[in-house]
Structure 1
Amino acid sequence: MAGLFDVDTQATQPQQTGGLFGGGLPAVTAAASVVVQPLPGTTLASIPAPYQPHSDDELSDQEREDLEACKAGVDNLRNAFWIAGKSLETMSTAKLHREENPNFADWVWEKWEISESNLYRLIDEWRVGEALANLGHKPLESHVREMTELRRQTSDKIAITVYDTIARCVPRVTGEIVKTVVDKLGFLPKDADAAEVGRQVRELLHAPEEKADDTGKGDGAHDISSLGKDSPNGESSRKPSDSKDDALAAKDIERLRAALSALQEAAKKINKSAVRRAVEAQPDIAVPLIEEIGAKLQQIDRAVAIKLPKSQ
């Protein structure tokens, strides 16, 4: 079943920008002297992080700008549900809708015909979508929805691992594949190990077809044993191609180096005194920036929170 913000991604996609901090958006080729700025609401970074309302009175100029950016996020990127989800959460948390309609769910329905259940599902899912987009994927909302129960059992990190592993092993992710893998994984403990779950997913994707029982009927599960044979990253067989695997690892090393370099540069430019001065001088601007920085640091922390091999 297609999701509210789903589009058909079977067609060839434009080349996407890479790097740990890349947003997965199509690269824009332009003359070196021209800088193309994305319109507010067309990238995740242009959506302000959710924040508490500044007041119950009329919107401030900054709040109006935030509101327009969030509206654009829902209007313009219906194929990127994580941007719509973040937009909805920011508008709800900051009560940016209060001038037009104090009832958020009614206001969203009037403007976009998104039901209350759908809008809160989008709010719940956008962080998973963002994490997958940062890994270079473009997941459909319906695919993430198939992992709702899995996320409730475990965590967003496990759901991200499951989708990422599937995407690396099959030519094209479908809702049916995600559902089949999640069903076959069964119940997982709250503290499930992401690396072990990834291994289980790879085994499921390469498992032979279930044998029929004495009645001649199988277990009714969709056969996904041959879907990963032509995976471009070499993870689709039990013995991955060394050359492909090495090339993928080399790219990942470059991502880590680029991330470390960016963090080192950022650390040189920021300190507590500067943060305090900014908050005291312009809190309406500084606080959302600080919250967004904190969110990004938490995202990086989650990304590197893996079990590392013991040093020799």
Structure 2
Amino acid sequence: MGGQRRGKAIERKKFTTAIDMAQELPHLFKPISDSPALIGEEQDSLAQCEAAVETLKGAFWAAGKALQIIRDARLYRGTHKTFDAYCDDRWSMNRQYADKLIRAWPIAEALYKKQTDPGLNPIGVKKLNQAQVWELVPAAETWDVDAATFVYDTVVEIDGQPVTAAVLKGAVKALPKGPEFDREAAAEKILEYVSSLSETPAEKVPAPAVPIEEQIAVRVNKAIEVDWVRRLAAQDRSRASAYLDQVQQRVERLRAELLSSAS
């Protein structure tokens, strides 16, 4: 009986891959109904197709996490002597790129969890791609993953600001240095940096065309976007209050700075 057990083939679990999903997609290349609303079969097809497209958004995250498991658990040892050789032979991937994916995946996972949990992300789901996540890696490696996601969340919450890889890179560079991550100081520096993106250099500012009093009134109205604060308060009053506290602290610091310089 022992010989039969040893000779029995081991059944391994089969996982669905992107190739499997592509092969299983329905061959539906024209509407099957004239109704404005999708019928049941069309709804199923849409869900299947959207699931396939969704794999593209998270492919780098899944690959990075999988590669770290293979590397750290030495799952490559059955066929290759080194992880480098495994990456090159199995995936035509150099070690440098594999390490890049490994460094990025924890941030992607943390952001995805926050984006899909309304309680953690009252602002709403935003697009997320590999280029964005990669620019957050320095923050994660200097402090931790929470610091990296804080940078992303802070930029996302700035009304009207596109969350591009370039903007995130600049936001990370603007962070105050130090062994501890100070969220209040970080938020202030990020807001200063993002605000500077829309400012016109002083030498290019044209001569005032309206009285200075009117200019001041316009800038006061722009200083705090009331509608945005109201929307934020409707979603999370504590975060709206924290935002206004930061604005007030910044005004007080600026007032003290101006008064001290005048004296």
TM-score, L = length of structure 2: 0.52
Kindly indicate whether the alpha-carbon contact (under 8 Å) linking 1:153 and 1:188 is maintained by their aligned counterparts in 2: no
Aligned partner of 1:79 in structure 2 is 57
Note if contact 1:129-1:144 (Cα within 8 Å) is conserved in structure 2.
Answer: yes
Matches within 5 A, 1:3-22: none
Residues 84, 122 of structure 1: 8 Å contact kept: yes
1:48-127 superposed matches below 5 A: 65=13, 69=15, 72=17, 77-80=55-58, 81-127=60-106
SS in 1 for 2:224: coil
Instruction: Work out the CA distance in 2 between the residues paired with 1:74 and 1:212.
Output: 55
Cα gap change, 1:237/1:91 in structure 2, threshold over 3 Å: closer, same or farther? farther
Residue 172 and residue 109 in structure 1: after superposition, are their counterparts in 2 closer, same or farther (change >3 A)? farther
Match of 1:181 in 2: 171
- Deviation by residue 1:36-78 (Cα, 9 ceiling, x = unmatched): xxxxxxxxxxxxxxxxxxxxxxxx969x54xx65x94899845
The residue identity in structure 2 corresponding to 1:172 is P
Residue in 2 aligned with 1:220?
none
Rate the CA distance shift 1:156–1:240 in 2: closer, same or farther, 3 A.
farther
Contact kept, 8 Å, 1:146 with 1:175, in 2: the verdict is yes
Deviation at 1:121, TM superposition (A): 1.6
The answer for unaligned runs of 5 or more in structure 1 is 1-59, 217-235, 253-312
Alignment: residue pair count: 167
For residue 210 of structure 2, what is the aligned residue in structure 1?
A: none
Choose the corresponding residue for 1:248, options 228, 235, 243: 235
Which position in structure 1 is the counterpart of 2:107? 128
Partner SS for 1:90: helix
Residue 79 of structure 1 aligns to a residue whose secondary structure is: helix
Q: Which amino acid aligns with 2:224?
A: R
Aligned match for 1:194, one of 180, 183, 190 = 183
SS of the residue corresponding to residue 135 of structure 1 reads: helix
Q: Which amino acid aligns with 1:238?
A: I
In structure 2, the gaps of 5 or more residues are 1-8, 22-54, 116-125, 205-221, 240-263
Partner of 2:31: none
Distance change >3 Å, CA 138–CA 73, structure 1 → 2? farther
Q: 1:106 to 1:246 in 2, by over 3 A?
A: same
**Structure 1 residue 84: Cα displacement:** 1.6
Matches of 2:10 and 2:177, distance apart in 1:
48
Shift, 1:138, TM fit? 4.4
Within 2, Cα distance between the matches of 1:173 and 1:155?
Answer: 21
Q: Distance in 2 between the 1:178 and 1:75 partners?
A: 35
State the SS of the aligned residue for 2:76.
coil
Runs of 4+ in 1 over 6 A off after TM superposition: 73-76
Change in CA separation of 1:75 and 1:113 when aligned onto 2, cut-off 3 Å: farther
More helix as a share of residues: 2
Displacement of 1:172: 3.3
Instruction: Select the residue among 219, 225, 246 that pairs with 1:239.
Output: 225
Conservation of the 8 A alpha-carbon contact between 2:175 and 2:186: no
Equivalent residue number for residue 164 of structure 1: 153
Q: How far is 1:95 from its partner?
A: 2.3
Amino acid in the other structure paired with 2:97: N
Letter in 2 for 1:249: D
1:209 matched residue in structure 2: 199
| 8 A Cα contact 1:97 1:107, kept in partner | yes
Describe the SS at the equivalent of 1:126: helix
Q: Percent identity?
A: 22
